[in-house]
Chains A and B, each alone.
Chain A
Amino acid sequence: MRHVAVLPALVLLFLRLLANRLLGSLAPLIGAPARSWLLAVGFATLGLGAGSPSLAADIGSDFDAANKLYEQGKFSEAAAAYQKLLDAGAPAEAIHFNLGNAWFKAGQLGRAIAEWRLAERSSPRDPSVRFNLQFARKRVTGSDAPAGVLWQRALRSLTLNEWTVLASVLLWVWFLLLALREFKPMLRKVLSGYTSTAGLGALLLAVCLAGAAALQFNTRPAVVIVPEAIARTGPLDEAKVLHQLRDGTEVVVLDEKEVTVGESKQTWLQVRDNARRIGWVKGDQLSVLAAGRT
Chain B
Amino acid sequence: MGLGRSSTQRTGRKFLPAIALLWFATLGGAFGATLTATLDRNVVPVGESITLSLVFEGAASAQQPTLPPISNVTVTPGTSQRNELSFFNGQQSSRTIYDFQLVATQPGDVVIPAIQGQAGGQVLTSQPLSLKIVKAEGASAQALTNLAFLRLIVPKTEVYVGEPFAVEIQLYWQNAQQVQIPQLNPDGFSLGPSPKPTQTRTQVGNTLYNLVICRLTATAARTGALPFGPAECSLTLLVPTANRNRSRDPFESFFNRGPEFQARPAVLKSDAVTMRVLPLPKENVPAGFNGAIGNYRMTASAAPTNLTVGDPITVRVQIAGNGPIDSLQLPAQADWRDFTTYPATAKTDLNDPLGQSGVRSFEQVVIPQNHEIQALPPLRFSFFDPQAKAYRTLSSPAVPLNIRPAASAAAPTSTLTNGTADATPPPADDIVHIRPRLDAAGAAAPLLVAQPWFLGAQSAPVLLWISLLLWRKRVELLANNPKRRRQREVAARIRDGLKELRGHAGAQKSLEFFATLFRLLQEQLGERLDLPASAITEAVIDERLRGCGVSDEVLKPLRELFQTCNAARYAPMTSSQELTALIPKLEGVLSELQRLKA
What is the interface of chain A, defined by CB distance below 8 A to chain B? 16, 19-20, 23-24, 27-28, 35, 38-39, 41-43, 46-47, 59-60, 63, 67, 70, 90-95, 97-98, 101-102, 104, 121-128, 130-132, 134-136, 141-146, 153-154, 157-158, 160-161, 164-165, 168, 171-172, 174-176, 178-179, 182-183, 185, 209, 213, 228, 230, 240-246, 274-275, 292-294
* 4 additional contacts (CB under 8 A) given A125-B417, A242-B312: A23-B440, A38-B440, A59-B438, A244-B312
Interface segment among B53-61, B196-204, B266-274, B445-453: the answer is: B445-453
- Asked whether, in the complex, the Cβ of B442 is within 8 Å of the Cβ of A146, the reply is no
Q: How far is the CB of B420 from chain A (nearest CB, A)?
A: 6
Q: How far is the CB of A248 from chain B (nearest CB, A)?
A: 11
Cα distance A209–B449 in the bound complex, in angstroms: 10
- Asked whether, in the complex, the Cβ of B310 is within 8 Å of the Cβ of A130, the reply is no
Assess whether B2 is interfacial by the CB under 8 Å rule. no
- Asked whether, in the complex, the Cβ of A132 is within 8 Å of the Cβ of B442, the reply is no
Q: How far is the CB of B431 from chain A (nearest CB, A)?
A: 5
Interface segment among B16-24, B43-51, B464-472: the answer is: B464-472
Of B419, B437, B468, chain A has the most CB atoms within 10 Å of the CB of B437
Closest to A274 in B: B407
Closest to B440 in A: A42
- Asked whether, in the complex, the Cβ of A92 is within 8 Å of the Cβ of B412, the reply is no
The 15 listed contacts between A and B (C-beta, < 8 Å) are A90-B443, A92-B443, A92-B444, A101-B434, A128-B423, A130-B414, A136-B431, A143-B410, A164-B454, A172-B461, A174-B461, A176-B465, A246-B310, A246-B406, A274-B407
Closest to A134 in B: B411
Closest to B342 in A: A241
Task: Tell me which residues across on chain A come within 8 A of B439, comparing CB atoms.
Answer: 23-24, 27, 39, 92-94
Assess whether B539 is interfacial by the CB under 8 Å rule. no
Assess whether B435 is interfacial by the CB under 8 Å rule. yes
Q: Interface range on chain B: under 10, 10 to 19, 20 to 34, or 35 or more?
A: 35 or more
Partner of A122, one of B435, B442, B447, B448: B442
- Give 1 or 0 for each of B335-362: 1 = CB within 8 Å of chain A CB: 0000010100100000000000000000
Q: How far is the CB of A167 from chain B (nearest CB, A)?
A: 9
Question: Contacts A125-B417, A145-B409: A47 and B461 contacting too (C-beta < 8 A)?
Answer: no
Task: Tell me which residues across on chain A come within 8 A of B120, comparing CB atoms.
Answer: none
Q: How far is the CB of A98 from chain B (nearest CB, A)?
A: 4
Question: Contacts A41-B440, A130-B417: A176 and B310 contacting too (C-beta < 8 A)?
Answer: no
Task: Tell me which residues across on chain A come within 8 A of B571, comparing CB atoms.
Answer: none
- Asked whether, in the complex, the Cβ of A20 is within 8 Å of the Cβ of B438, the reply is no
**Minimum-distance CB pairs A-B, first 3:** A42-B440, A175-B461, A93-B442
Assess whether B408 is interfacial by the CB under 8 Å rule. yes
- Asked whether, in the complex, the Cβ of B464 is within 8 Å of the Cβ of A175, the reply is yes
Q: How far is the CB of B434 from chain A (nearest CB, A)?
A: 4
Q: How far is the CB of B400 from chain A (nearest CB, A)?
A: 21
- Asked whether, in the complex, the Cβ of B418 is within 8 Å of the Cβ of A20, the reply is yes
Question: Contacts A131-B431, A182-B469: A160 and B444 contacting too (C-beta < 8 A)?
Answer: no
Question: Contacts A131-B426, A142-B408: A245 and B443 contacting too (C-beta < 8 A)?
Answer: no
- Asked whether, in the complex, the Cβ of B461 is within 8 Å of the Cβ of A171, the reply is yes
- Asked whether, in the complex, the Cβ of B445 is within 8 Å of the Cβ of A46, the reply is yes
Assess whether B311 is interfacial by the CB under 8 Å rule. yes
Task: Tell me which residues across on chain A come within 8 A of B445, comparing CB atoms.
Answer: 46, 161, 293-294
Cα distance A91–B441 in the bound complex, in angstroms: 11
- Asked whether, in the complex, the Cβ of A123 is within 8 Å of the Cβ of B442, the reply is yes
Cα distance A67–B435 in the bound complex, in angstroms: 8
- Asked whether, in the complex, the Cβ of A145 is within 8 Å of the Cβ of B418, the reply is no
Closest to B471 in A: A182
Cα distance A124–B412 in the bound complex, in angstroms: 14
Cα distance A246–B415 in the bound complex, in angstroms: 30
Interface of B is mostly: loop
Partner of B420, one of A24, A47, A67, A274: A24
- Asked whether, in the complex, the Cβ of B444 is within 8 Å of the Cβ of A91, the reply is yes
- Asked whether, in the complex, the Cβ of A91 is within 8 Å of the Cβ of B409, the reply is no
Task: Tell me which residues across on chain B come within 8 A of A92, comparing CB atoms.
Answer: 438-440, 442-444
Task: Tell me which residues across on chain B come within 8 A of A246, comparing CB atoms.
Answer: 310, 406
Cα distance A176–B461 in the bound complex, in angstroms: 6
Cα distance A16–B431 in the bound complex, in angstroms: 25
Of B415, B426, B449, chain A has the most CB atoms within 10 Å of the CB of B449
Question: Contacts A123-B442, A179-B468: A20 and B420 contacting too (C-beta < 8 A)?
Answer: yes
- Asked whether, in the complex, the Cβ of B442 is within 8 Å of the Cβ of A94, the reply is yes
Cα distance A153–B409 in the bound complex, in angstroms: 14
- Asked whether, in the complex, the Cβ of B443 is within 8 Å of the Cβ of A46, the reply is yes
Cα distance A244–B207 in the bound complex, in angstroms: 71
- Asked whether, in the complex, the Cβ of A168 is within 8 Å of the Cβ of B458, the reply is yes
- Asked whether, in the complex, the Cβ of A292 is within 8 Å of the Cβ of B431, the reply is no
- Asked whether, in the complex, the Cβ of B435 is within 8 Å of the Cβ of A94, the reply is yes
Assess whether B432 is interfacial by the CB under 8 Å rule. yes
Q: How far is the CB of A25 from chain B (nearest CB, A)?
A: 8
Q: How far is the CB of A234 from chain B (nearest CB, A)?
A: 14
- Asked whether, in the complex, the Cβ of B420 is within 8 Å of the Cβ of A127, the reply is yes
Task: Tell me which residues across on chain A come within 8 A of B14, comparing CB atoms.
Answer: none
Cα distance A138–B469 in the bound complex, in angstroms: 57
Task: Tell me which residues across on chain B come within 8 A of A179, comparing CB atoms.
Answer: 461, 464-465, 468
- Asked whether, in the complex, the Cβ of B440 is within 8 Å of the Cβ of A165, the reply is no
Q: How far is the CB of A99 from chain B (nearest CB, A)?
A: 9
Closest to B473 in A: A182
Q: How far is the CB of B549 from chain A (nearest CB, A)?
A: 44
Question: Contacts A67-B436, A128-B432, A176-B461: A144 and B444 contacting too (C-beta < 8 A)?
Answer: no
Task: Tell me which residues across on chain A come within 8 A of B471, comparing CB atoms.
Answer: 182
Partner of B408, one of A143, A178, A209, A240: A143
Task: Tell me which residues across on chain B come within 8 A of A104, comparing CB atoms.
Answer: 431
Task: Tell me which residues across on chain A come within 8 A of B440, comparing CB atoms.
Answer: 23, 38-39, 41-43, 92
Q: How far is the CB of A263 from chain B (nearest CB, A)?
A: 23
Task: Tell me which residues across on chain B come within 8 A of A165, comparing CB atoms.
Answer: 448
Assess whether B597 is interfacial by the CB under 8 Å rule. no
Q: How far is the CB of A133 from chain B (nearest CB, A)?
A: 9
Assess whether B85 is interfacial by the CB under 8 Å rule. no
Assess whether B257 is interfacial by the CB under 8 Å rule. no
Task: Tell me which residues across on chain A come within 8 A of B308, comparing CB atoms.
Answer: 275
Of B405, B441, B454, B464, chain A has the most CB atoms within 10 Å of the CB of B441
Partner of B447, one of A43, A63, A102, A294: A294
Partner of A161, one of B432, B433, B447, B464: B447
Cα distance A132–B461 in the bound complex, in angstroms: 43
Assess whether B233 is interfacial by the CB under 8 Å rule. no
Closest to B419 in A: A127
